[in-house]
Amino acid sequence: MAPIRTHGIDKSLALVAGIDSSTQACKVVIRDARTGRLVRDGCASHPAGTEVDPSAWWAALERALQAAGGLDDVEAIAVAAQQHGCICLDEEGRVVRPALLWNDTRGAAAVARLVAESGGADAGRQAWATAVGSVPLAAFTVAKLRWLAEQEPDTVRQTAAVCLPHDWLTWRLAGAGGIERLTTDRSDASGTGYWSPATGRYRSDLLAHALGHAVVLPKVLAPAERAGSTPAGAVLGAGCGDNAAAALGIGARPGDVIVSIGTSGTVFAVADEPTADPSGTVAGFADAAGGFLPLVCTLNAARVLDVTARLLNVDHAGLSRLALSAPPGAGGLAFVPYLEGERTPDRPDATGAIHGLTLDSATPASVARAAIEGVLCGLADGLDALMRQGVRAERVFLIGGGARSTAVRQIAPTIFGRPVLVPPAGEHVADGAARQAAWALAGTAAPPSWEHAGVEQFEAAVAPHVRARYAQVQALTAPRLD
């Protein structure tokens, strides 16, 4: 193993950087590699939209790094990023078209056809779950490739390599080079739809069938393996998907379930065994520590809270106050939050709805409470689906931007029917990437044990009528007009 570069200072002061290139923003934390102590941080926003030129992510990374004081004294770096995003590169490593993101639902029909080609809809779902641990939906990279094959033959002709946001940023940090130098990790590879967490191998045949020809794919690195180094000599960790990074960031262990309310809503568990759910509800992902990360993802989470606050002309604190002033169940109001279509359940063309309006329930407080309850009910359905896959849920953590909301913290246990643990507000995804960087730097068998500040536990009486009401109306939504 290469000796740790210490720049002539005490080895215990080695710094590592963790990057979270998520949907809405790029966040950087710089931490002490040994203790995990936060030294400095930075953030920069990303453009809106479901397709984004990766150069915008690079520009945001540069701004976030500058805000975080740069990398000159940093020994190792790792990048976590939004999963699934499809970046097509040509032979020279040039980006062929803007990346298609996880929340771009245009490939829904194309991927349904792809799945059905494996023996019909039901047999196809079983075949894909067996092959790659997941039934691909519009979010998956393979769905985007199939959509491109149907819609953009020129793009497909130019495409020589396909990679994900964290792969591309890591490759750029390493100074780019040829497409054969691209790397990824198990967690992000498992979101492509053409890599199997159970076998640890690509299914390049499935990719070639979707796209129409074979391409260069990033080498899949082990959790603590190095992806290379920056031109300045800092070690590059393998990087990972943002959900896997969050698990590493909060030090989750088997038996833990994490509910994240970010741009996406996710419910996922650290597990010792892979899953293969033929219904397509649970994605059978890998984690960033050598295990597995069965996951349910919804398209509508923190931004539902953003938009409801805007609708009610309040800020997030105001939304919390309003929501907590209404009773559980919001006087019969149920908010189905499918504002961007939905991934779980698979309803890409759905819109949102508010049901149960009466003269009494039509109040800002009821709308605020119903919006929060609606987001949480979708995630509670996800937790149930995980448990049907045999996942243990001994502790439930709540993280992501939405977990900063007092109302979300207090209402969550009424919906999940169990206490929820909330770590101190922070950038848990970037923290996980930083911990992975420290692991790659140390070259040890296990990641460094960083101290985690105390979690806060929220408990409340379960309100089963809220989920019952939501279940009654959840399918009653209008399709999009466009």
Ligand X SMILES: Nc1ncnc2c1ncn2[C@@H]1O[C@H](COP(=O)(O)OP(=O)(O)O)[C@@H](O)[C@H]1O
- Summarize the annotated binding site for substrate as residue ranges: 83-84
Pair type for strands 226-229 and 195-196: unpaired
- Residue 268: Cβ within 10 Å count: 29
Smallest separation (angstroms) from ligand 5SP to the CB of 411 = 20
Interface residue with ligand 5SP, options 80, 257, 297, 304 (CB under 6 A): 297
Of 23-31, 36-44, 205-213, 468-476, which part binds ligand X (CB under 6 A)? 23-31
Pair of tokens at residue 34? 């040994």
What residue has token string 């009528």?
465
Distance CA 80, CA 426 (A): 15
Q: Which window, 38-46, 119-127, 214-222, 235-243, contacts ligand 5SP (CB under 6 A)?
A: 235-243
Active site residue 90: no
Give the whole-angstrom CA distance, residue 371 versus residue 354. Answer: 9
HEC secondary structure over 264-307: CEEEEECECCCCCCCCCCCEEEECCCCCEEEEEEECCCHHHHHH
Query: How many residues make contact with ligand X (CB under 6 A)?
Result: 16
CA-based angle 103:290:22, to the nearest 5?
Answer: 25
- How many degrees, rounded to 5, is the angle at CA 15 between CA 63 and CA 218? 65
Interface residue with ligand X, options 170, 196, 263, 308 (CB under 6 A) = 263
x/- letters, 403..442, toward ligand X (CB under 6 A): -xx-------------------------------------
Give the residue, chosen from 18, 19, 22, 65, that forms a contact with ligand 5SP under the rule CB under 6 A: 22
When CB distances are held under 5 to 8 angstroms depending on the partner's kind, the choice from ligand 5SP, ligand X, none that residue 385 binds is none
Q: Which of 242, 277, 287, 381 is catalytic?
A: 242
Give the bridge partners for 31, in sequence order: 16, 38
Amino acid present at 303: R
Q: Are 338 and 477 in contact (CB under 8 A)?
A: yes
Give the range of 10-18, 267-275, 397-405, 443-451 binding ligand X by CB under 6 A. 397-405
Say if CB 85 and CB 138 are below 8 A apart.
Answer: no
Task: Decide if 199 contacts 190 (C-beta within 8 A).
Answer: no
Contacts with ligand 5SP, 154-193, as mask; x by CB under 6 A: -------------------------------------x--
Point out which residues bind ligand X (CB under 6 A).
22-25, 262-263, 302-303, 305-306, 316, 400-402, 404-405
Point out which residues bind ligand 5SP (CB under 6 A).
22-23, 82-84, 102, 139, 191, 241-243, 262-264, 266, 295, 297
